[in-house]
Amino acid sequence: MYVTSISHLDHHEPHLTVQMTATEAGYIAQLIGGFNSETDPVAIRRNDPAAHRIGSEIYDSITGEFFNRLYEDGVKDFLRGKSMR
């Protein structure tokens, strides 16, 4: 995984553009997909169950924009080693 750019559009935190392999994206999706508002490390660290939406947005982006378009059962099929549609 490589950070290809960093911008400071927001005064609170930088924005990153990341290049990653499908395997890395699958790992991230599988990891984040197992969290809920009580187990999400960001929500716990911030002491804010609503912060779980950050992980949900990442998961939805990775699965919706990539895996669900290419695999019948999305990231699950990719991780099982199934062929693309």
Q: What is the mean pLDDT of each run of 10 residues along the chain (85 residues)?
A: 88 86 93 85 82 87 93 90 80
Give residue 9's pLDDT.
Answer: 75
Give residue 24's pLDDT.
Answer: 94
Give residue 67's pLDDT.
Answer: 93
Give residue 51's pLDDT.
Answer: 80
Q: Are 38 and 57 in contact (CB under 8 A)?
A: no
Domain extent for 73: 20-79
Give residue 18's pLDDT.
Answer: 94
The number of distinct structural domains making up the chain is 1
Q: Is residue 2 in a domain?
A: no
Q: Is residue 10 in a domain?
A: no
Q: Is residue 8 in a domain?
A: no
Give residue 4's pLDDT.
Answer: 95
What gap in Å lies between CA 22 and CA 74, rounded to an integer? 12
Q: Is residue 44 in a domain?
A: yes
Tell me the CA distances in angstroms from 76 to 5, 6, 12, 34, one per residue in order.
30, 31, 35, 12
